[in-house]
Structure 1
Amino acid sequence: MENTTRDHDLVIYGATGFVGELITAYVAEHAPAGLRVGIAGRSRSKLEAVRSRLPEAAREWPIIEADSEHPGSLADLAESTRVLFTTVGPYVKYGLPVVEACARAGTHYGDLTGEVSFVREAIDRCDALARETGARIVHACGYDSVPSDLAVLLLHQAAEADDAGPLTEVQLVATAKGGVSGGTIDSMRGQLDGARLDPALKSLAGDPYALSPDRAEEPATSQPADYGPVSRSANGLWTAPFVMAAGNTRIVRRSNALQGWAYGRSLRYSEAMGISRGPAGAVVAGVVAVGLKLFMGAMAVPATRRVLDRLLPAPGKGPSVHAQSTGWFRSTATAQTGRGHRYQATAKGPGDPGYAATAVMAGETALALALDGDRLPAVSGSLTPASALGDVLVERLRAAGHTYEVTRLS
């Protein structure tokens, strides 16, 4: 662990939110003795209530009042800690001042965003500054986009070890059991509004290399559509469009570019949602595809959105403890290499993917940033889970009960 004169090693900002409290509880249960952890948010009374529900060892954690609408409080917060993990979203609305404060203070940062426009703006504003100060700014550290990002990293490592050539085609098929996140819905609202009102954001949303560190250097390789047609995957599952594909695919492509396009300059990467096999699977996949298209269309129109808003979970709301514990996720990525070999990577784990499993991913990310600095890649700036944390995060998630494995198919 790095030496420091700062008051805290790790602060969780947004600890009073639904997911924020889950992450706080996870860190409280897994942080080693001596790690100086604080919790932050706008309301001291709510923070005290969260702290009272933590394990005994964490009930003396410091409380820090901070508000994203008051930059001075964020500057003080960032300067007080070596690592800040934030769950305060929608990030496009509340997140940029937090990133800027951390980049300026040289404070390592993690979040749960799946918002492409937010990540792009954070890169443009803060990447150069963070590289100067040595801050690791790590976006998308939950179910968006850890399983996708680490699965493709492992495929690359396996192919490289076998001298099998670069990755040329990878499709990830996601299956899961879980609830709908009110925070994710709120982020979707913001992104749809931005694309509707701003032609530049609409163009950004359609660019498969929207998060590239150097757009001009990206290859001319065409990429599969974010929400592709109903089809059958390599393992025989019928698939439908995956609502998280637009964010995940761009994070994976950024990871590739940040590592000098190590995965392959001509890599085509796509994601889909797995349904089931056989004729019934094809029918259900078709229904899901139509339903998703109708839902996205309805969310984009203010009149129909008002109706949906009365039915959908609000930000800060989530499933019951039982629903969280009975959920699960499984992401299976199948790769083709330049020399004709095939590999399959599996990322899976217990718990509702947007809540219980995300708390594990985010908690281990925060602990890795706080404890494993000497083992992490020697990089700074605006990063991704694979480029910032790589094998260290894989090891941590395996130890936490998640599976990350690769098999050579041919």
Structure 2
Amino acid sequence: MSDEKRTHDVVVYGATGYVGALVAAYLAEHAPADVRIALAGRSAAKLETTRRELPERGRSWPLIVADATDEASLEALVTSTRVLVTTVGPYARYGLPVVGACARAGTHYCDLTGEVLFVRDAMELVDKTARDTGARIVHSCGYDSIPSDLGVFLCHQQAAADDAGELTAVGLVATARGGFSGGTIDSMRAQMEAVGADPALRRVVTDPYALSPDRTAESTQAQPADAPLPGRRGSRGMWTAPFVMASYNTRIVRRSNALQDWAYGRTLRYQEVMGTGRGPAGAVAAAGVTAGLGLALAGMSFGPTRSVLDRVLPAPGTGPTPEEREKGWFRMDLDAATTSGRRYRAVVSGPGDPGYAATAVMLGESALCLALDGDRLPARAGSLTPASAMGEALIDRLRVAGHTYTVSPA
């Protein structure tokens, strides 16, 4: 379908949800004036309420009523726009019909998923169709997993520019201030329920190359643990603990490498950890985070304890207050080694609660990048990642939006 027949450049699907409203507000304030934007969701009344609360420019945007369970409404939605941004999760529950509709229509797509099983199912379902229609289906365009994905991409770019060889090892230390929303918890819950119901899915989730487009072509070299013991790592000498998002982000980075013909390096070893501080206090915090994360994941894995946690964890549609979002921040420090022996350090950081304020920037700019920067994007379609779909063009946008992306020799 030609772009001339589409009435919108970007549609935010799930605009009445917590994160969807944040993305819509970001676009209302920062999208170029000539970009045609619409809001979509299941309830016309809720869409009206969301629109009234947007910055002035967004209060005149068209509204589209669509439901992931209604094929006709989905088809009408995706054929009306060049890019669909969706925050409707858990994606394993609601996302596959949306991805499929976009792939068939040749509509570019971006989401916020952090669900290994959903991305695996989506890539198997739509990759060939999307390549045939030219649709870029881009998963994980928020804190899951843009800082990780683009940070490693940046290290690769600099090593290539310096003729320093391939990357052999990259370690990322994440530090942040922010909260969790009910939507994030709901996605974690959905994946835990699926793994609990089918032991074979546990093997998929724990496979470090679970999202590879060609699992048989991957290196047999062992990858670092997703949940290492506390220790000191990284150029800043911090105590570290397991990072809750590592088991997802690492798969996205490895998928990006494979989608680019393993340009980073066939034997690249990649690991993410969470920084907890220096000195004795950092060591105590690392031990506490390690124990707490283990208990939380164990509790989410079993029905009886999961139902108890449901009573105390945030409900879907909730999240940090505006004041909490404003006080948040994130920083990723990456240390990269190359086959030539040269080393690099990269920093990816930004203001605002990482999962919400900063994520709204990342997802909003991803949508604008797909809609406006086609001449700068790799000639690649199908089931993609932020780095493989948008790479340098998205880094440039995020820098202008106030995020930091730097790399230098170590």
**Structure 2 Cα separation of the partners of residues 228 and 57 of structure 1:** 47
Residue 370 (structure 1) shift: 1.0
C-alpha distance in 1 between matches for 2:343 and 2:142: 27
Task: Supply the AA of the counterpart residue of 1:194.
Answer: A
Counterpart residue type for residue 233 of structure 1: R
1:275 is paired with a residue of what secondary structure?
strand
Q: What is the DSSP-based 3-state SS (H/G/I as helix, E as strand, rest coil) of the residue aligned with 1:40?
A: strand
- The equivalent of 1:211 in structure 2 is 211
Which position in structure 2 is the counterpart of 1:131?
Answer: 131
The alignment of Structure 1 onto Structure 2 pairs a total of residues equal to: 408
Correspondence for 1:39: 39
Match of 1:199 in 2: 199
Q: Which residue of 1 aligns with 2:143?
A: 143
State the secondary structure of the residue aligned to 2:376. Answer: coil
Q: Secondary structure at the match of 1:284?
A: helix
Residue identity in the other structure for 2:303: P
Tell me if structure 1 keeps the 8 A contact 2:234–2:334: no
Whole-angstrom CA distance in 2 between matches of 1:231 and 1:126: 41
1:92 and 1:28 map into 2 onto residues whose CA distance is 29
1:137-193 deviation per Cα after TM superposition (whole angstroms, max 9, x unaligned): 000000000000000000001111111111111111100000112111111111111
Residue 58 of structure 1 aligns to which amino acid in structure 2? G
Displacement of 1:310 = 1.1
State the match for 2:406 in structure 1.
405
Within 5 A, what are the aligned runs for 1:222-237? Answer: 222-235=222-235, 236-237=237-238
SS at match of 1:374: helix
Asked whether the 8 Å contact 2:240–2:276 carries over to 1, the reply is yes
Give the letter for the 2:75 counterpart.
Answer: A
Matching of residue 336 in structure 1 with residue 337 in structure 2: yes
- Residue 61 of structure 2 aligns with which residue? 61
Among the aligned pairs, what percent are the same residue? 63
How far apart are residue 35 of structure 1 and its match? 1.2
Residue aligning to 2:249: 248
After TM superposition, the structure 1 = structure 2 runs for residues 22-37 of structure 1, keeping only pairs within 5 Å, are 22-37=22-37
Please name the residue that 2:397 is paired with. 396
The whole-number CA distance in structure 1 between the counterparts of 2:172 and 2:179 is 21
Superposed CA deviations along residues 312-342 of structure 1, whole A, max 9, x for unmatched, are 1011101110000000000111111111111
Q: Describe the superposition over 1:199-232 as per-residue Cα deviations: whole angstroms up to 9, x where unpaired.
A: 2211101110000011111111110111111121
Counterpart mapping for 1:83-122 below 5 A:
83-122=83-122
The answer to whether the 8 Å contact 2:7/2:81 transfers is yes
Give me the whole-angstrom Cα distance separating, in 2, the residues matched to 1:4 and 1:23.
25
- The letter of the residue matching 2:132 is E
Moved more, 223-232 or 313-322: 223-232
CA distance in 2, matches of 1:317, 1:275: 26
Give 1:279 deviation, angstroms: 2.4
Alpha-carbon distance between aligned partners in 1 of 2:125 and 2:60, rounded to the nearest angstrom: 36
* Residue 346 (structure 1) aligned with residue 342 (structure 2): no
Letter paired with 2:393: V
Q: Is the 8 A contact 2:331 2:347 kept in 1?
A: yes
3-state SS of paired residue (1:33): coil
Structure-1 residue corresponding to 2:239: 238
Alignment deviations for residues 286-307 of structure 1 (CA, whole Å, 9 cap, x no partner) = 1110111011101111111122
- In the other structure, the counterpart of 2:314 is 313
CA distance in 2 between partners of 1:302 and 1:245 (Å): 24
Aligned equivalent of 1:220: 220
Measured in 2, the distance between the counterparts of 1:374 and 1:3 equals: 15
Secondary structure of 1:4's counterpart equals helix
Structure 2 counterpart of 1:181: 181
The alignment's TM-score, normalised by the length of structure 2, stands at: 0.98
**C-alpha RMSD of the superposition:** 1.0
CA drift of 1:135 comes to 0.1
| 2:238 counterpart letter in structure 1 | L
| Secondary structure, aligned partner of 1:352 | coil
Residue of structure 1 in register with 2:13 after alignment:
13
Deviation of 1:55 (Å): 2.4
Partner residue in 2 for 1:290: 291
Q: Does the 8 A contact of 2:234 with 2:333 survive in 1?
A: no
Report the Cα distance in structure 1 between the residues aligned to 2:346 and 2:283, rounded to whole angstroms: 24
Q: Give unmatched runs, 5+ long, in structure 1.
A: none
Aligned residue type for 1:359: A
Superimposed CA distance per residue, residues 375-397 of structure 1 (whole angstroms, 9 cap, x where no aligned partner):
11111000000000100100000
Q: CA deviation digits over 1:12-45, x for unaligned, max 9?
A: 0000000000000001111112211110000001
Q: 1:234 deviation in Å? A: 2.4
Q: Give 1:385's aligned amino acid.
A: P
